[in-house]
Amino acid sequence: MLNALEVFTTVVVGLMVGVEFSVAFVINPILNGLPEDSSVLGRAHGGRMLGALMPVWYITSLVLTAIWAIAGWHHHGAGLVVTAAALLILSVIMSILLLVPINNRGKTWTAENRPADWKQQMNRWDRFHYARVAVIIAAFTLLVAALT
C-alpha cells in the first residue's frame, strides 16, 4: 500500500510541477507576446482558471506528501519526503503571501480597467512564480529520490 501511495503522490506532484513549469516558460511568454489587450485578458482568464484549480492541487500534494512521510517514517528516504513536504509548505506560504494578492488583482483586469503599472505587477508575479517553480521542482526531485 505504501508503494502505491508513493507512486501516486509523486505523479500528482509531478503533474503540478509540469503545469506550473508550463505557465512560467510556455503560457506566460506566449501571452506576453500578444498585443496588450489580449495579454491582459489572457492572463486574467488564466488567473481565474488556475486560481481556482491550483490551491486544491497544492494542498492535495502537500497532504499526500505528509501522509507518505508519516506512513513511511521508518522506511528508507523518509528524510527526503519530510524535506519535500517542508518545501511544499514553503510553496503554499509563497503562494498565499506573494502570488495570490497579485493574482487576485490581475484576474479582474480588462483592457479598460487595468492599472498603469499592470506590466510591472505581472513581471513581479512572474519572478515570484519562477522562485515557486524552483521550490516545487526541488520537492518533486526529493520525492523521486525517495522512491529509489
* pLDDT value at 9 more than 90: yes
**Whole-number pLDDT of residue 55:** 95
Residue with cell 497544492: 58
- Mind listing the pLDDT tens digit for each residue in 35-56? 989 999 999 999 999 999 999 9
**Whole-number pLDDT of residue 36:** 87
- Mind listing the pLDDT tens digit for each residue in 67-118? 999 999 999 899 999 999 999 999 999 999 999 999 999 999 998 999 999 9
Per DSSP, the three-state class of 35 is coil
Q: How confident is the model at residue 148 (pLDDT cuts 50, 70, 90)?
A: confident
26-35 CB contacts, 8 Å cutoff, 24+ apart = 28/126, 28/129, 32/122
Mean pLDDT, the chain, integer: 96
User: Which of 1, 10, 2 shows the shortest CA–CA distance to 76?
Assistant: 2
pTM: 0.94
* pLDDT value at 19 more than 90: yes
**Whole-number pLDDT of residue 17:** 98
* Chain length of the chain: 148
* pLDDT value at 31 more than 90: yes
**Whole-number pLDDT of residue 102:** 97
Express as a percent the part of the chain with pLDDT over 90: 95
